[in-house]
Amino acid sequence: MEQIRVLLAEMPQMLGEVFRRVVRDQPDMTVVGEISDPLGLLLEVGSRRAQVVIMGSKTTQPPGICSHLFNEYPHVKVLSVRADGRRALLCDLRPRRVVIADASVQALLDIVRAAFAGGGAQTDAAGDFPGGDALS
């Protein structure tokens, strides 16, 4: 089984430690690096062949760097986790975003898996990710 390649970016120290430990414990995921420099993030996603970027955020708005990432790497998914760990946002190139109400670490890992299952994002009957609310 091919592992999902995760790059941690711009994470507050405590949140970064949690994700580093938890992702490394997942048999189907691997942490391919960590970066705190937003400009370096664009280079690291390509050089480390990251499929998912998990990054810290102060809001639940899409990080500004998403448009640059999607322009260069349209396959990448960005999981933006609020610094307090209570909310998260999954962004990809598709013309929608998903606000994740249950931002527990396990729920976030399940959403990352769902985004890669079968080569594409898996949604429920309403077209939403499990535990997420689609926004237009």
């809001």: which residue's tokens?
A: 59
For the chain, give the longest Cα–Cα distance. Answer: 39
| 74-92 pLDDT tens trace | 999 999 998 887 888 888 8
Q: How confident is the model at residue 134 (pLDDT cuts 50, 70, 90)?
A: very low
Q: Which domains does the chain have, with CATH numbers?
A: 4-135 (3.40.50.2300)
Angle 105-116/13-24 helices, nearest 10 degrees?
A: 60
Given a cut of 90, whether residue 3 has pLDDT beyond it is: yes
Q: What is the DSSP letter of 119?
A: G
| 24-57 pLDDT tens trace | 999 999 999 999 988 899 999 999 999 999 998 8
Q: Which of 25-34, 62-71, 127-136 has the highest mean pLDDT?
A: 25-34
CB 28 within 8 A of CB 115: no
